[in-house]
Amino acid sequence: MEEYIFIKLRERPEIKDAAAQWFHEKWGVPVEAYLECMDAYLVGDTEYGWYLCLDGEKIIGGLGVIENDFHERKDLSPNVCAVYTEEDYRKQGIAGRLLDMAVEDMKSKDISPIYLVTDHTGFYERYGWEFLCMVKGNDPEPTRMYVHY
């Protein structure tokens, strides 16, 4: 993993458009929604950041921190969102390192705890996340909410 570069978007703001497009392709959320969050972060309106893993100039992993990741529990904020690693790069610890980066960055700004919603079980626990409760989101079935202190 030494050849990969892990960055906060503020370190490479010029790749914002490519990052927004990459996240859109993975999750189907409109590019404009990503750009709005990224712009707020880049100009300092929020400390909720965006974290990327690059192989050269290619984005191979990423995640963001936003106010709410499409669920009813507005009191459980901020939320890690859009966690994704390209399939060919999985099982190398990339997502884990990105999660750790986000947690540490938020803690350095006195933002703790942070939350995330997921259908995965067993993955996030490896990185210090704890199951908190079930929450209602866009899907008819409730989804798992995790917390990191």
Check residue 137 and report its DSSP letter: B
Q: What is the mean pLDDT of residues 44-73?
A: 96
Rounded Cα distance between 129 and 61, Å, is 19
CATH of the domain at 107: 3.40.630.30
Residue 117 lies in a domain: no
The whole-number pLDDT of residue 139 equals 83
100 and 83 Cβ atoms separated by less than 8 Å: no
Of 18-22, 70-74, 105-109, the range with the lowest mean pLDDT is 70-74
Question: Strand order in 79-85's β-sheet?
Answer: 5-8, 50-55, 58-66, 79-85, 114-118, 143-148, 130-135
Residue 52 lies in a domain: yes
Residue 45 lies in a domain: yes
Two structure tokens written together for 70:
């499409």
Question: What's the total number of domains in the chain?
Answer: 1
DSSP string computed for 25-57: HHH---HHHHHHHHHHHHTTS----EEEEEETT
Q: Which residues span the domain enclosing 43?
A: 5-111
**pLDDT greater than 60 at residue 92:** yes
Rounded Cα distance between 103 and 97, Å, is 10
**pLDDT greater than 60 at residue 1:** no
**pLDDT greater than 80 at residue 59:** yes
Q: Which of 50, 46, 47, 10 is nearest to 34 (CA)?
A: 50
The whole-number pLDDT of residue 137 equals 87
The whole-number pLDDT of residue 140 equals 87
Binning pLDDT at 50, 70 and 90, where does residue 126 land? very high
**pLDDT greater than 70 at residue 74:** yes
Task: Give the sign of the dihedral formed by CA 34, CA 39, CA 40, CA 41.
Answer: positive
**pLDDT greater than 90 at residue 78:** yes
Q: What's the whole-model pTM score?
A: 0.94
